């Protein structure tokens, strides 16, 4: 599956999962106060709560699967269930894993409800409430979209919704256990203020990727505005048999050629930069090189990469080889590319920038 599609699916399923978890949490709180109307009796609210919970778990599963399958960040299946084992933003990703584990515990206990004592099941079910704040912090600390205005507004709406439902729950039955209710409300309010302050000083500011614990291999350190860090994992070394099996539409590796083309840069919503490099090789046969980068601009003028892709092929099939950036220093790019036959092509590109024009050399092996 196309890496861009997986990246967008990861982001989309994460946002939808957070909204569904919020709806499930709100309904759970309202069910606890025995909400009931003439049109919506209590059993209807409970049934809606169960159905939304199931859909939320499905989207959480899709979010986890697409994140692991994307392969850009070093997140494996083990990290999806064992907290704080991934080198990629260990703390913030680990909080998301804890939220997933809590949801799994709730789901399994619900399936086995008839075999579990009511008190034990109720205690396990409370874990669902703990998974929601962990999911919010995970989304802010690990996600690539918190600085998008509409995503931030959506997260704020989720928080406000749970706060209002919680206030209703604390007010129901007042003044019984007033001390406990006041303390719970105060803890909730302080937590919201603390997370908001942290988000404003961290995830919503440039340079958060490095502070969040992104591996250095995925971060850029050059002062060039076109500089970007490494992207997708190295697909591996080239074997002699793979070289002999390459299509004749490109020069037989190893080969080297001069390249020239253009660079374009666009500012995306949320403070992200998008950089596209398109270049053509000289000589015959010709080849078309394409490099696409999306990332967070750093203070030094570089780019903290969020996603990358690269293609190389003849004009008639410019996407013959596809992959990503596996290393960069200055305007030197290392690309890891494969074709449909899984043949590997390691490409090195050295470029110089003059306005929007780029030129340099390309070598492949």
pLDDT at 68 over 70: yes
Mean pLDDT of 6-20: 91
pLDDT at 107 over 90: no
Write out the two tokens for 245: 């099996």
Q: Do 193 and 237 share a structural domain? A: no
- Residue predicted with more confidence, 284 or 55: 55
For position 218, what pLDDT does the model report? 61
Given the structure tokens 């490494």, which residue do they identify?
230
The span from the CA of 229 to the CA of 89, in Å, is 16
For position 113, what pLDDT does the model report? 83
Q: Do 220 and 176 share a structural domain? A: no
Contact predicate 113/163, CB 8 Å: no
Contact predicate 212/263, CB 8 Å: no
Could you give the number of structural domains in the chain? Answer: 2
Q: Which of 211, 238, 260 is the last residue of a domain?
A: 211
Supply φ then ψ for residue 267, to 5 degrees. -90, 120
111-161 per-position pLDDT tens digit:
888 888 888 888 888 887 889 999 999 999 987 778 778 889 999 999 999
260, containing H or E segment: strand 255-267
pLDDT at 241 over 60: no
Q: Which of 211, 229, 252 is the last residue of a domain?
A: 211
Given the structure tokens 């957070």, which residue do they identify?
18
CA-closest candidate to residue 22, choices 166, 185, 195, 120:
166
Residue range(s) defining the domain that contains residue 188:
3-211
Q: Do 199 and 55 share a structural domain? A: yes
Q: Do 291 and 357 share a structural domain? A: yes
Q: Do 162 and 224 share a structural domain? A: no
For position 306, what pLDDT does the model report? 75
Q: Do 266 and 192 share a structural domain? A: no
Contact predicate 25/132, CB 8 Å: yes
Q: Do 166 and 56 share a structural domain? A: yes
For position 299, what pLDDT does the model report? 65
- Residue predicted with more confidence, 145 or 102: 102
For position 16, what pLDDT does the model report? 96
Sorting pLDDT into bands at 50, 70 and 90, what band is 324?
Answer: confident
Q: Do 81 and 143 share a structural domain? A: yes
CA-closest candidate to residue 139, choices 50, 4, 10, 51:
10
pLDDT at 244 over 60: no
Supply φ then ψ for residue 296, to 5 degrees. -100, 120
- Residue predicted with more confidence, 302 or 74: 74
The span from the CA of 49 to the CA of 54, in Å, is 9
Q: Do 228 and 192 share a structural domain? A: no
Write out the two tokens for 139: 């989304």
Q: Do 152 and 244 share a structural domain? A: no
% of the chain exceeding 90 in pLDDT = 30
Q: Do 235 and 101 share a structural domain? A: no
Q: Do 312 and 200 share a structural domain? A: no
Supply φ then ψ for residue 351, to 5 degrees. -125, 155
Sorting pLDDT into bands at 50, 70 and 90, what band is 4?
Answer: low
The span from the CA of 328 to the CA of 304, in Å, is 12
Q: Which of 211, 233, 266 is the last residue of a domain?
A: 211
């Amino acid at each position: 599956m196309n890496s861009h599609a997986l990246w967008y699916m990861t982001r989309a399923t994460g946002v939808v999962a957070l909204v569904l978890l919020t709806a499930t949490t709100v309904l759970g709180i309202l069910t606890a106060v025995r909400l009931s109307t003439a049109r919506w009796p209590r059993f209807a609210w409970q049934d809606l709560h169960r159905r939304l919970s199931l859909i939320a778990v499905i989207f959480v599963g899709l979010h986890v699967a697409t994140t692991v399958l994307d392969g850009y960040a070093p997140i494996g299946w083990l990290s999806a269930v064992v907290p704080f084992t991934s080198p990629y933003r260990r703390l913030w990703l680990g909080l998301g894993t804890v939220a997933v584990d809590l949801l799994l515990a709730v789901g399994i206990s619900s399936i086995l409800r008839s075999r579990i004592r009511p008190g034990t099941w109720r205690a396990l079910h409370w874990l669902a409430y703990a998974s929601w704040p962990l999911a919010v912090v995970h989304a802010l600390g690990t996600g690539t979209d918190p600085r998008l205005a509409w995503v931030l507004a959506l997260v704020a709406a989720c928080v406000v919704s749970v706060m209002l439902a919680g206030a209703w729950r604390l007010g129901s039955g007042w003044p019984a256990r007033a001390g406990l209710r006041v303390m719970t409300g105060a803890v909730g309010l302080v937590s919201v203020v603390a997370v908001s302050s942290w988000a404003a000083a961290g995830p919503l500011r440039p340079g958060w990727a490095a502070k969040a614990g992104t591996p250095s291999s995925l971060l850029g350190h050059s002062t060039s505005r076109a500089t970007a860090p490494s992207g997708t994992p190295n697909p591996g070394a080239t074997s002699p048999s793979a070289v002999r099996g390459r299509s004749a539409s490109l020069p037989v590796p190893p080969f080297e050629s001069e390249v020239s083309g253009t660079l374009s840069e666009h500012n995306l919503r949320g403070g992200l930069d998008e950089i596209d490099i398109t270049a053509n090789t000289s000589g015959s046969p010709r080849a078309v090189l394409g490099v696409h980068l999306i990332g967070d601009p750093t203070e030094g003028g570089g780019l903290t990469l969020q996603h990358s892709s690269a293609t190389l092929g003849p004009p008639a099939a410019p996407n013959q080889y596809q992959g990503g950036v596996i290393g960069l220093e200055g305007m030197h790019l290392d690309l890891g590319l494969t074709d449909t036959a899984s043949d590997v092509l390691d490409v090195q590109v050295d470029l110089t920038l003059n306005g929007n024009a780029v030129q340099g050399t390309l070598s492949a092996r």
